[in-house]
Amino acid sequence: MAPRSRLQGSDKGYQSDVSSDPNVIFSDNLIATPPVTRIPIVRTPMMKTKLVEDTDDEGQLPSERYLTQEENLNASQLRQNRYSDGANVNLTSPSEDGTVWTVEQKSPELEIEYPEGYLRVNHTWGPLNLVDGYVDPNTFEIVVAPVVNQVYLGTIQGNLKDDLSVQFNLSSSSGQFRFFLRNGNEVWIDLNMRIQFGGYFERQWKFLSI
């Protein structure tokens, strides 16, 4: 380490800073500093409301409830309903000595009533599956429950005289299909659909005669 350098000359040539002179620091001749005024903090109703909002735990279950749920949980028999890309599936955990999880897709739960004399719809082509539905041969009303690329779209209804179109934009596919009449009594489907990493489908075909 290099030695510290020392200032040359007499110490008398240097004068102390006035701020470091104890005679000045404790002198009675200094100008008095005005006292600091402390402003009391008044809690307004708005501030109190804010504090309540910050600590609001409404909607949280008590800790006893979580302990009860944890004690009743049996991982070896756990079955859960999950939605994967719009598909309803059952997820089953492994057995006590197993390591394999099982996922099974559930069939859509339909709520369609079938009046007497109506034509039942059940048709599949490629990625389009009309799992259920019917057509009224007198009014040409149609009710269908389509599944597109394993995604159930729900129950859709309309009139074949006006055409019935369904446009969809899913994470795995997008496109449109249309039901329409041809030759007076033939029900046709017009499908235009693109599947991610699966190509493009474009086709018209008859699937029902009234």
**How far is the C-alpha of 179 from the C-alpha of 165, rounded, in Å?**
6
**How far is the C-alpha of 83 from the C-alpha of 108, rounded, in Å?**
12
Highest mean pLDDT among 14-23, 74-83, 121-130: 121-130
Residue 26 confidence (pLDDT) above 60: no
**Considering only 71-85, 113-127, 141-155, which range has the smallest mean pLDDT?**
71-85
158: pLDDT confidence band, cut at 50, 70 and 90? very high
**How far is the C-alpha of 36 from the C-alpha of 171, rounded, in Å?**
65
Domain boundaries, the chain: 109-209
For range 43-67, the mean pLDDT: 47
Name the nearest CA neighbour of 128 among 170, 191, 204, 180. Answer: 191
User: Could you give the 3-state DSSP secondary structure of residue 69?
Assistant: helix
Write the CB contacts of 162 (distance below 8 Å, at least 6 apart in sequence). Answer: none
Number of other CB atoms surrounding residue 168 within 10 Å: 16
For range 203-208, the mean pLDDT: 93
* DSSP class per residue in 77-94: G-EEEEEETTEEEEEE--
Q: Which two tokens stand for residue 10?
A: 């007499």
On whether the CB atoms of residues 164 and 176 are closer than 8 A, the answer is no
Counting residues of the chain whose pLDDT is more than 70, the rounded percentage is 57
**66-104: pLDDT as tens digits:** 444 444 444 444 444 444 445 678 889 998 889 999 998
